[in-house]
Each structure stands twice: as structure tokens, then as C-alpha cells.
């Protein structure tokens, strides 16, 4: 079955069967995603098979203390540094191994770059749940925070350059 491109979460999306294998990610999707959407706390984007959600991520604006960022990101930046927070990213276990995680991350990066055109931000920041998740982000160009190995950042200029070079 064909998957829809990532889109904002809506009331008719079926969240009930989503199972990433990580209860915290599954519960957040079912219990918080729509509430956060309504309150404006975060924005959740989903990939669906028909109306069934098979992958999602959420974004929220934020900031990070300068000392928590690598030198390249903190150089010439105000305190604190404006960032986009990638709050969650998960794929249903029925779709693991199909590249959906990478596709969701690319969409999150593209949306972050678009947001950076109207509101200043320096990086995309993620708090990885564990070392496996951290390796996924490292493989995709993120760098580790100097004070926490599970906090990773992707400088937006690096993301922009990577996307430009892959589209040529």
C-alpha cells in the first residue's frame, strides 16, 4: 500500500495501532501529540498508510545553553542559542528497515530550514533515548554535545550544504 508524504497530525489519523517497540514513544503519540498540537506546544507530522499512522516526528522551538553545544554551533551566537527541537521520531515496527526513519528526519530538517527563514535558529537538537538512537543521528550528520552524549545537534548550515550537494 502507498504511504502518504509526511503531513500534520489530524483528528482522523488512526493512532491506536502504532507500535514502534518503544512504549514511551507510542504513548506520547496517543496521549500527547494532538493535545500539544492544539495548545501549540509542538507540531507533529505523520506518515500514514491509509489513515493509519506508521511513522511520526514532532518539532518545537527552543534554545540551548552555549556550553552544551560544540564550538562550531556556539561560535558568534547569542546566549542561549536558538534551536529547533526534534522532540520525538518513531516508526512502526511493521515498517522498520524501509528507510522511513531517514525520510522522516529529512522532512524534519527541511521544515526546520524553512522555519529558520522566518525565525532565527542555529541547529536542530535531539535528546536521543539511547545509544542506538544516538548512532542513527550521528550517521545522519548530527554531532554530540560536549556535556551529554545523548544530546545531539545538527548545524543548519551543515544540513543546508548536505541537502544542496545531494540534490545536484
Query: Residue 36 above 80 pLDDT?
Result: yes
How far is residue 59's CA from residue 111's CA, in Å, rounded to a whole number? 9
How far is residue 85's CA from residue 12's CA, in Å, rounded to a whole number? 26
Q: What is the CATH number of domain 7-167?
A: 3.40.630.30
In sequence order, the 6+-apart residues with CB closer than 8 A to the CB of 32 are none
pTM strictly above 0.85: yes
Marked catalytic residue, from 45, 56, 57, 137? 137
Which residue, among 65, 45, 60, has the nearest Cα to 126 in the 3D structure? 60
CA dihedral 9, 59, 90, 129 (to 10 degrees): -150
In the residue annotation, 137 being an active-site residue is answered as yes
Query: Residue 165 above 70 pLDDT?
Result: no
Query: Residue 93 above 60 pLDDT?
Result: yes
Amino acid at each position: 500500500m502507498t504511504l502518504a508524504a509526511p503531513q500534520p497530525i489530524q483528528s482522523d489519523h488512526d493512532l491506536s495501532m502504532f507500535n514502534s517497540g518503544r512504549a514511551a514513544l507510542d504513548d506520547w503519540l496517543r496521549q500527547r501529540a494532538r493535545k500539544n498540537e492544539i495548545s501549540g506546544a509542538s507540531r507533529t507530522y505523520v506518515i500514514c498508510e491509509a489513515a493509519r499512522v506508521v511513522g511520526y516526528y514532532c518539532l518545537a522551538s527552543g534554545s540551548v545553553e552555549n556550553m552544551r553545544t560544540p564550538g562550531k554551533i556556539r561560535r558568534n551566537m547569542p546566549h542561549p542559542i536558538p534551536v529547533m527541537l526534534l522532540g520525538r521520531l518513531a516508526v512502526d515496527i511493521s515498517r522498520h528497515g524501509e528507510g522511513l526513519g531517514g525520510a522522516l528526519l529529512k522532512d524534519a530538517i527541511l521544515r526546520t530550514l524553512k522555519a529558520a527563514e522566518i525565525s532565527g535558529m542555529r541547529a536542530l537538537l535531539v535528546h536521543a533515548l539511547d545509544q542506538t538512537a544516538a548512532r542513527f543521528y550521528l550517521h545522519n550528520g548530527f554531532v554530540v554535545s560536549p556535556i551529554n552524549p545523548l544530546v545531539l545537534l545538527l548545524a543548519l548550515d551543515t544540513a543546508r550544504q548536505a541537502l544542496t550537494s545531494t540534490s545536484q
